[in-house]
Amino acid sequence: MNTSAKSEHTGNSGFKKEVLEWVKILLAAAAIAFVLNTFVIANSYIPSGSMEDTIMTGDQIFGSRLAYEFGDPQRGDIAIFRYPDNEEELFIKRVIGLPGEKVEIIDGKVYINDSEEPLEEDYLKETPTGSFGPYYVPEDSYFMLGDNRNDSRDSRWWNNTYVKRDKILAKAVWRYFP
Protein backbone atom coordinates (compact mmCIF):
# COMPACT_ATOMS: atom_id res chain seq x y z
CA MET A 1 0.00 0.00 0.00
CA ASN A 2 2.84 2.29 0.80
CA THR A 3 4.37 1.62 -2.64
CA SER A 4 1.26 2.54 -4.62
CA ALA A 5 0.85 5.83 -2.75
CA LYS A 6 4.46 6.68 -3.54
CA SER A 7 3.95 5.76 -7.22
CA GLU A 8 0.82 7.88 -7.47
CA HIS A 9 2.66 10.85 -5.94
CA THR A 10 5.61 10.43 -8.36
CA GLY A 11 3.26 10.31 -11.38
CA ASN A 12 1.55 13.55 -10.37
CA SER A 13 4.92 15.20 -9.74
CA GLY A 14 6.18 14.02 -13.17
CA PHE A 15 3.15 15.55 -14.88
CA LYS A 16 3.70 18.88 -13.10
CA LYS A 17 7.37 18.84 -14.11
CA GLU A 18 6.47 18.20 -17.74
CA VAL A 19 3.89 21.02 -17.78
CA LEU A 20 6.45 23.35 -16.20
CA GLU A 21 9.00 22.42 -18.88
CA TRP A 22 6.46 23.15 -21.63
CA VAL A 23 5.63 26.51 -20.05
CA LYS A 24 9.35 27.37 -19.96
CA ILE A 25 9.74 26.42 -23.64
CA LEU A 26 6.72 28.49 -24.67
CA LEU A 27 7.92 31.51 -22.68
CA ALA A 28 11.40 31.22 -24.20
CA ALA A 29 9.91 30.98 -27.72
CA ALA A 30 7.73 34.05 -27.07
CA ALA A 31 10.73 35.99 -25.75
CA ILE A 32 12.84 35.04 -28.78
CA ALA A 33 10.01 36.01 -31.17
CA PHE A 34 9.61 39.36 -29.38
CA VAL A 35 13.34 40.14 -29.58
CA LEU A 36 13.54 39.11 -33.26
CA ASN A 37 10.47 41.13 -34.23
CA THR A 38 11.54 44.19 -32.22
CA PHE A 39 15.27 44.33 -33.00
CA VAL A 40 16.12 42.07 -35.94
CA ILE A 41 13.27 41.66 -38.46
CA ALA A 42 10.22 43.58 -39.59
CA ASN A 43 7.30 41.65 -41.00
CA SER A 44 5.22 43.50 -43.61
CA TYR A 45 2.13 42.70 -45.62
CA ILE A 46 1.76 44.48 -48.99
CA PRO A 47 -1.80 45.83 -49.31
CA SER A 48 -1.54 47.73 -52.62
CA GLY A 49 0.02 47.64 -56.06
CA SER A 50 2.31 50.65 -55.59
CA MET A 51 5.48 48.50 -55.76
CA GLU A 52 4.40 46.14 -58.58
CA ASP A 53 6.05 44.28 -60.33
CA THR A 54 8.86 44.19 -57.76
CA ILE A 55 6.53 43.34 -54.87
CA MET A 56 2.98 42.22 -55.59
CA THR A 57 -0.26 42.95 -53.74
CA GLY A 58 -0.67 40.32 -51.00
CA ASP A 59 3.05 39.53 -50.70
CA GLN A 60 4.53 39.23 -47.24
CA ILE A 61 8.04 40.58 -46.72
CA PHE A 62 10.73 40.27 -44.08
CA GLY A 63 12.85 43.35 -43.56
CA SER A 64 16.18 43.55 -41.77
CA ARG A 65 16.11 46.04 -38.89
CA LEU A 66 19.87 45.57 -38.56
CA ALA A 67 20.57 46.73 -42.14
CA TYR A 68 20.48 50.39 -41.12
CA GLU A 69 22.12 50.01 -37.73
CA PHE A 70 25.53 50.02 -39.40
CA GLY A 71 24.85 52.25 -42.40
CA ASP A 72 22.34 54.61 -43.95
CA PRO A 73 19.70 53.80 -46.56
CA GLN A 74 21.05 53.91 -50.10
CA ARG A 75 19.36 54.94 -53.32
CA GLY A 76 17.53 51.93 -54.72
CA ASP A 77 16.92 50.23 -51.36
CA ILE A 78 13.39 49.09 -50.68
CA ALA A 79 12.64 50.36 -47.19
CA ILE A 80 9.91 49.72 -44.63
CA PHE A 81 9.07 52.92 -42.74
CA ARG A 82 6.44 54.80 -40.77
CA TYR A 83 4.20 56.73 -43.16
CA PRO A 84 4.95 60.44 -42.57
CA ASP A 85 1.26 61.47 -42.67
CA ASN A 86 0.17 58.78 -40.18
CA GLU A 87 2.96 57.09 -38.24
CA GLU A 88 0.60 54.29 -37.16
CA GLU A 89 0.84 52.92 -40.71
CA LEU A 90 3.86 51.15 -42.19
CA PHE A 91 4.72 51.78 -45.83
CA ILE A 92 7.21 50.16 -48.18
CA LYS A 93 8.77 52.15 -51.05
CA ARG A 94 12.05 52.59 -52.86
CA VAL A 95 14.62 55.13 -51.62
CA ILE A 96 15.19 57.66 -54.42
CA GLY A 97 16.37 60.96 -52.92
CA LEU A 98 19.08 61.05 -50.25
CA PRO A 99 19.66 63.77 -47.62
CA GLY A 100 20.70 67.09 -49.15
CA GLU A 101 19.81 66.13 -52.74
CA LYS A 102 17.59 67.85 -55.27
CA VAL A 103 15.12 65.46 -56.93
CA GLU A 104 13.20 66.45 -60.04
CA ILE A 105 10.90 64.31 -62.17
CA ILE A 106 10.60 65.43 -65.79
CA ASP A 107 8.35 63.48 -68.15
CA GLY A 108 8.45 60.55 -65.74
CA LYS A 109 12.25 60.41 -65.50
CA VAL A 110 14.05 61.10 -62.21
CA TYR A 111 16.99 63.51 -62.15
CA ILE A 112 19.22 63.98 -59.11
CA ASN A 113 21.08 67.27 -58.50
CA ASP A 114 20.46 68.60 -62.04
CA SER A 115 22.16 65.60 -63.65
CA GLU A 116 22.04 65.43 -67.45
CA GLU A 117 21.20 61.72 -67.25
CA PRO A 118 18.10 60.36 -65.50
CA LEU A 119 18.33 57.56 -62.96
CA GLU A 120 18.44 54.11 -64.51
CA GLU A 121 15.37 52.38 -63.15
CA ASP A 122 14.95 49.00 -64.84
CA TYR A 123 12.67 47.83 -62.02
CA LEU A 124 9.74 50.07 -63.04
CA LYS A 125 6.49 48.34 -64.04
CA GLU A 126 5.79 50.70 -66.93
CA THR A 127 7.04 53.98 -68.31
CA PRO A 128 6.14 56.65 -65.75
CA THR A 129 4.46 59.87 -66.77
CA GLY A 130 4.28 63.37 -65.33
CA SER A 131 6.61 66.05 -64.07
CA PHE A 132 7.07 66.82 -60.36
CA GLY A 133 9.35 68.92 -58.23
CA PRO A 134 11.93 70.03 -57.75
CA TYR A 135 12.14 68.56 -54.25
CA TYR A 136 14.96 69.51 -51.91
CA VAL A 137 15.49 66.61 -49.51
CA PRO A 138 16.29 67.89 -46.01
CA GLU A 139 19.23 66.53 -44.05
CA ASP A 140 18.30 63.35 -42.16
CA SER A 141 15.40 62.66 -44.56
CA TYR A 142 14.64 60.63 -47.71
CA PHE A 143 12.43 60.93 -50.79
CA MET A 144 10.52 57.71 -51.56
CA LEU A 145 8.78 56.48 -54.71
CA GLY A 146 6.85 53.35 -55.58
CA ASP A 147 7.99 51.18 -58.50
CA ASN A 148 4.52 51.40 -60.03
CA ARG A 149 4.85 55.19 -60.40
CA ASN A 150 1.62 55.74 -62.30
CA ASP A 151 -0.36 54.10 -59.46
CA SER A 152 1.63 54.94 -56.33
CA ARG A 153 0.87 57.35 -53.51
CA ASP A 154 4.39 58.27 -52.49
CA SER A 155 6.52 61.31 -51.59
CA ARG A 156 5.05 63.23 -54.53
CA TRP A 157 1.58 63.15 -52.96
CA TRP A 158 2.08 63.14 -49.18
CA ASN A 159 1.45 66.18 -46.98
CA ASN A 160 4.78 65.43 -45.27
CA THR A 161 6.90 64.80 -48.35
CA TYR A 162 10.00 63.28 -46.75
CA VAL A 163 10.67 60.28 -44.52
CA LYS A 164 12.90 61.10 -41.56
CA ARG A 165 15.83 58.74 -40.99
CA ASP A 166 14.61 57.62 -37.57
CA LYS A 167 11.26 56.54 -39.10
CA ILE A 168 12.90 54.04 -41.45
CA LEU A 169 12.55 50.69 -39.71
CA ALA A 170 14.07 48.10 -42.02
CA LYS A 171 15.42 47.20 -45.43
CA ALA A 172 13.21 44.74 -47.30
CA VAL A 173 15.25 41.60 -47.86
CA TRP A 174 13.02 38.60 -48.49
CA ARG A 175 9.54 37.79 -49.76
CA TYR A 176 8.33 34.74 -47.86
CA PHE A 177 4.73 34.50 -49.08
CA PRO A 178 3.42 33.52 -51.55
List residues with catalytic annotation: 50, 93
Write a three-state SS string for 72-91.
Answer: CCCCCCEEEEECCCCCCCEE
Distance CA(104)–CA(93), nearest Å, equals 17
Query: Among candidates 168, 163, 97, 169, which has minimal Cα distance to 133?
Result: 97
Question: Which string of b and e fits 80-106 if b means at least 16 CB within 10 Å?
Answer: bbbbbeeeeebbbbbbbbbeeebbbbe
List residues bridging with 21 in a β-sheet.
none
